[in-house]
Amino acid sequence: MLLVLVILVGWAVLATTVFAFGLLFTLIIAGLVGWAADAIVPGKLPGGWLGAVLTGLLGGFVGQLLFSALHLHDPGFSLFRVDLIPAFVGAVIITFVAEMLSSRRSLA
């Protein structure tokens, strides 16, 4: 009985660790995608590194929706379950909109 409990706890710890590292690496890739989009779009993305991570995450969703709506096949590759080309395209769109909204707000 004790052996079964130890095995179950070991599997739970292993699953939690794998999930945590997967989430961490996904957030790192999303941050890099957001940073690359910020480098392309003129201006400064609000929020610093947190803004870059959020832009990368939202950009992944927007890019997937856009590619699906236009029936485009993603020619790129995935890294930690992030499709890089649609995520980058979506992140550029999100960055452009954020730049427009933040510059409009600062002028008013």
Tokens of 49: 């590194």
Determine the Cα–Cα distance for residues 43 and 96; give it in Å rounded to an integer. 9
- The answer as to whether 96 is a domain residue is yes
From first to last of its 108 residues, the chain has per-residue pLDDT tens of 888 888 888 888 888 888 888 888 888 888 899 899 888 888 778 778 888 888 888 998 999 899 889 888 767 787 777 788 889 999 999 988 888 887 665 554
Q: How many domains does the chain have?
A: 1
Q: Residue 66 burial (CB < 10 Å; 0-12/13-18/19+)?
A: middle
Range of the domain at 44: 23-107
- The answer as to whether 15 is a domain residue is no
- The answer as to whether 89 is a domain residue is yes
